[in-house]
Amino acid sequence: MRLSRYFLPVLKETPSEAQIVSHRYMLRAGMIKQQAAGIYSWLPMGFKVLRKIEDIIHEEQAKAGHIAMQMPTLQTADLWRESGRYDGYGEEMLRMQDRHGRDMLFSPTAEELFTDVFRSHVSSYKDLPLTLYQIQWKFRDEIRPRFGVMRGREFYMKDGYNFDLSKEDALHAYNRHLVSYLRTYERMGLQAIPMRADSGPIGGDDTHEFLVLAETGESEVFYDSEVTDLTFGDREIDFDSVEQCQAVLEEFTSRYARTDETHDEALFNQVPQERRRVARGIEVGQIFYFGTKYSDALGATVQGPDGKPTPVHMGSHGIGVSRLLGAIIEASHDDKGIIWPEGVTPFHCGIVNLKQGDEAADEACNALYASLSALGLEPLYDDRNERAGGKFATMDLIGLPWRITVGPRGLKNGVVEVTCRRTGENTEMPPEQAIAKIAEIYGKVAG
Ligand code: 5CA
């Protein structure tokens, strides 16, 4: 993309309403625009990162054997009356009526709808296990929407629902999700720590939240510092293997790590003092096992191996997709702007032309742009007629992990400059080598 043809409405001033760094940078970098409290337009750069996050989630869900589909955002109240949650859900549910006076609502979550699809189409245990999911907009009329996309009213969520014949199978689904989520967050450059939590209006006893440690996080968390040493890495896992998933669960959840809702001071005090940590975290996901709560209420049964109708065991699993943008920025920025992890960056690298209109510089930039694009990479080429300082400031603010700087003086010596956004390290090298380096970082082979 050429910046002169892109739509990147960068703000010079720091918006006064934004209290935390991720909100400030998302507004300044032209990623979002607020339309009402907790409701945002996603401008092209923000939308691009949202899509990258979504792609990672879809890829990892497919590896775990989960099946994507899409539910409507608007639903009738009927199903929610059947489950008993219509009155119970409270003020956070946005309710409305259609022209016929029918009660409708904007989905805050979708246990009822998925259970309804299941009961309509699945009747035998032979069709289990089954895990369906969607990535879809949700609405919760939060009393205090704040911190930009962190606590929105309209927000984007991945929500998945498993249907299993027995508690044992459903617990495997729970463990499988835990493993799959660990991989998902790591691919986004995040450490998200599973912590024992409270299930709230979703229900059930078994639940873990995934928390990204950050001073601006809304949750208070208590943990054994050893949990921050754990990484999933690129280990291979067979998601059908009960033992393998169980082993990962135990590795990642056996140490003390809890949110304030489930914190137990006496248990915490058993952790050696030098390893006890109290901090704040951003909840980027949650997994639940709630047994037959919804299948009992909505009559979701299958014919079991013994021929008798058996209610299915269920759980649900959520990732805060739009919140993740905020969480990633909170975890990865400096005083100049965002520093995108390579896995989610909106463009793979920036190209800065120090002297637009200089024949050699223009030509070298065009050649770099063409070569990187041919490799399947997306560079953002700042081809505007602007001072170098302004171009660097924009690149730093929008946070592309790599920048190639091209100027007439360097070109006379046959070199361009490659800069790492995270470390600030600059290296001069011939353009071909710069292409090879960027290609290698993103796992592409330069010809
Ligand atoms: N049905 C279950 C699992 S699919 C569910 O709704 N879980 S949840 O309530 O925990 O939401 C899933 C994730 O959505 C949360 O972990 C959080 O990351 C994100 N989320 C929840 N509320 C908001 C909000 N107001 N703004 C942005 N993200 C939110």
Domains of the chain, start order:
7-338 (3.30.930.10), 349-441 (3.40.50.800)
CA of 322 to the centre of ligand 1 (A): 10
| CB of 317 closer than 6 angstroms to any ligand 1 atom | yes
CA of 318 to the centre of ligand 1 (A): 6
Query: For the purposes of burial, counting CB atoms within 10 Å of the CB of 387, is it exposed (0-12), middle (13-18) or buried (19 or more)?
Result: exposed
| CB of 286 closer than 6 angstroms to any ligand 1 atom | yes
Return the pLDDT at 416: 98
Residue 248 reports pLDDT greater than 90: yes
| CB of 202 closer than 6 angstroms to any ligand 1 atom | yes
Instruction: Kindly indicate the confidence band of residue 336, based on its pLDDT and cuts at 50, 70 and 90.
Output: very high
Q: From the CB of residue 260, how many other CB atoms can be counted at a distance below 10 Å?
A: 12
| CB of 285 closer than 6 angstroms to any ligand 1 atom | yes
CA angle 53, 58, 64 (to 5 degrees): 130
Q: What is the pLDDT of residues 272-308, one digit of tens each?
A: 999 999 999 999 999 999 999 999 999 999 999 999 9
* Predicted structure pTM score: 0.96
Tell me which residue has its CA closest to atom 20 in ligand 1: 320
CA of 395 to the centre of ligand 1 (A): 32
Residue 377 reports pLDDT greater than 70: yes
Q: Choose one of 20, 211, 286, 319 to mutate for the ligand 1 pocket test, by most ligand atoms within 8 angstroms of C-beta.
A: 286
Six-digit token pair at 101?
Answer: 């006076």
| CB of 151 closer than 6 angstroms to any ligand 1 atom | yes
Residues 406, 374: Cα–Cα separation, whole Å: 19
Residues 45, 340: Cα–Cα separation, whole Å: 12
- Percent of the chain topping pLDDT 70: 100
For helices 242-253 and 167-187, give the axis angle rounded to 10 degrees. 60
Return the pLDDT at 246: 96
| CB of 207 closer than 6 angstroms to any ligand 1 atom | no
Q: Choose one of 115, 147, 157 to mutate for the ligand 1 pocket test, by most ligand atoms within 8 angstroms of C-beta.
A: 157
Q: What is the pLDDT of residues 44-54, one digit of tens each?
A: 999 999 999 99
For residues 294 and 300, the answer to whether their CB atoms sit within 8 Å is: yes
Instruction: Kindly indicate the confidence band of residue 447, based on its pLDDT and cuts at 50, 70 and 90.
Output: low
Residue 16 reports pLDDT greater than 90: no
| CB of 316 closer than 6 angstroms to any ligand 1 atom | yes
Tell me which residue has its CA closest to atom 5 in ligand 1: 318
Return the pLDDT at 115: 95
Q: What is the pLDDT of residues 58-75, one digit of tens each?
A: 999 999 999 999 999 999
Return the pLDDT at 205: 72
User: How far apart are the two ends of the chain, measured CA to CA in Å?
Assistant: 22
Residue 428 reports pLDDT greater than 90: yes
Tell me which residue has its CA closest to atom 13 in ligand 1: 320
| CB of 318 closer than 6 angstroms to any ligand 1 atom | yes
Tell me which residue has its CA closest to atom 1 in ligand 1: 109
Residues 124, 163: Cα–Cα separation, whole Å: 12
Residues 274, 224: Cα–Cα separation, whole Å: 9
CA of 285 to the centre of ligand 1 (A): 7
Question: What does residue 353 show for φ and ψ, rounded to 5 degrees?
Answer: -95, 115
**């998200």: which residue's tokens?**
192
- Percent of the chain topping pLDDT 90: 96
Q: Choose one of 20, 71, 178, 323 to mutate for the ligand 1 pocket test, by most ligand atoms within 8 angstroms of C-beta.
A: 323
Return the pLDDT at 71: 98
Beta-bridge partner residues of 433: none
Strands lying side by side in the sheet with 74-76:
74-76, 103-106, 94-97
Tell me which residue has its CA closest to atom 21 in ligand 1: 320
CA of 446 to the centre of ligand 1 (A): 41
Q: What is the pLDDT of residues 195-227, one digit of tens each?
A: 999 877 777 778 999 999 999 999 999 999 999
Atom of ligand 1 nearest to the CA of 151: 26
Q: What is the pLDDT of residues 84-118, one digit of tens each?
A: 999 989 999 999 999 999 999 999 999 999 999 99
Q: What is the pLDDT of residues 134-156, one digit of tens each?
A: 999 999 999 999 999 999 999 99
Residues 273, 271: Cα–Cα separation, whole Å: 6
| CB of 391 closer than 6 angstroms to any ligand 1 atom | no
Cis peptide, bond prior to residue 341, ω within 30 of zero = no
